[in-house]
Amino acid sequence: DTEVTQTPKHLVMGMTNKKSLKCEQHMGHRAMYWYKQKAKKPPELMFVYSYEKLSINESVPSRFSPECPNSSLLNLHLHALQPEDSALYLCASSQPGTSLGDTIYFGEGSWLTVV
């Protein structure tokens, strides 16, 4: 069983809605990530938080707003999304450091459909 928990598993939202995706990990990891994955494509990095500070924003539109309330939690706030934002959103965590063996562990993903 994965130690990175994502909720909800499935989300359908209208283009004017505001919703949030939530992610929680209890592995003591201090780096957390959001990836977006379209059908039949590899995941694409969106955001990286390291020690609760935003370290990477891969030019993601402002309708996606990440938040890291503490070292175990990561949220992705969604507002005014477009149908093309429909995708699988994967949360992940790792223990940052200089070792290349800092494996990234993923959650089960949240399937988002924008109607």
Partner 1 sequence: AQKITQTQPGMFVQEKEAVTLDCTYDTSDPSYGLFWYKQPSSGEMIFLIYQGSYDQQNATEGRYSLNFQKARKSANLVISASQLGDSAMYFCAMSLPSGYSTLTFGKGTMLLVSP
Provide the mask over 2-21, with x wherever binding to partner 1 is found by CB under 8 A and - wherever it is not.
Answer: x-------------------
Among residues 23, 94, 112, 114, which is the contact residue for partner 1, using CB under 8 A? 94
100 vs 22: CA distance, rounded Å: 27
From 18-26, 62-70, 71-79, 104-112, span contacting partner 1 (CB under 8 A): 104-112
- Answer yes or no whether residue 73 interacts with partner 1 by CB under 8 A: no
Beta strands in 2-63 (DSSP E): 4-7, 10-13, 18-25, 31-37, 44-50, 53-57
As beta bridge partners, residue 57 has 47
- Answer yes or no whether residue 66 interacts with partner 1 by CB under 8 A: no
10 vs 112: CA distance, rounded Å: 6
- Answer yes or no whether residue 47 interacts with partner 1 by CB under 8 A: no
